[in-house]
Amino acid sequence: MPVQVKICGITTVEQALMVQQAGADLLGLVLYAKSSRHVTLQQAIEVRRAIASDVLCVVLLVNADKEFVKQVISEVKPDLLQFHGDETAEFCQQFEFPYIRALRMHDDLDIAAQARAYKSAHSLLFDAWHPQQYGGTGERFDWHRLPLERRFNLILAGGLTPDNVAEAVTAVAPDMVDVSGGVESVPGIKDPVKVRDFIVNAKAAG
């Protein structure tokens, strides 16, 4: 099965239409105020309406409170939530809604233990570690730390670009690759050529 491609940090309806036309499988909306790709709840609702039925909508949250998560589910109506902060397994599971658990690859991360803890997750996403940032760093980590044999869906993120995504897919054999800054002209604005090249290169390698 070809690798799926998620383009994260979509900020406008126009961006959503462009990346779908380029062949993205999933679109990510960031509801985290400290992100340069942040959208409001109302903006997320508007972009969601522009996402086709055969493309999945993912809403990224960072340490959001329970009531806001419920509001997102009710009003944005995403296909998946992406918990990208310090959320516990118990917190993620309580909504009984499909979710991606993002894990930042600090040096002592026990991947097997995390996979057991978040066994209810749709997928586990692996991103570069940064002490002050929850993703979107543009930095990559050592892909060889990821297991080639696994019993969970693996999403590879962190520092991916059109130039290195084929290498990443070959090295890790992920179920999905996730990119944000690597296909942008400026933060929050996707570059159509970079988006197209990223998707083509990822799919060809997969």
Residues involved in catalysis? 8, 127
Task: Kindly give the residue spans of alpha helices, DSSP state H, lying in the chain.
Answer: 13-22, 41-49, 66-75, 89-93, 111-117, 165-172, 192-205
Question: Whole-angstrom Cα distance, residue 192 to residue 22?
Answer: 8
Nearest to 60 by CA among 141, 152, 155: 155
Task: Kindly give the residue spans of alpha helices, DSSP state H, lying in 76-189.
Answer: 89-93, 111-117, 165-172
Q: What burial class does residue 40 get, using C-beta atoms within 10 Å of its C-beta: 0-12 exposed, 13-18 middle, 19+ buried?
A: exposed
What 8-state DSSP symbol labels residue 145?
A: G
Question: Whole-angstrom Cα distance, residue 188 to residue 175?
Answer: 25
**How many residues comprise the chain?**
206
DSSP strand pairing (184-186 vs 189-190): antiparallel
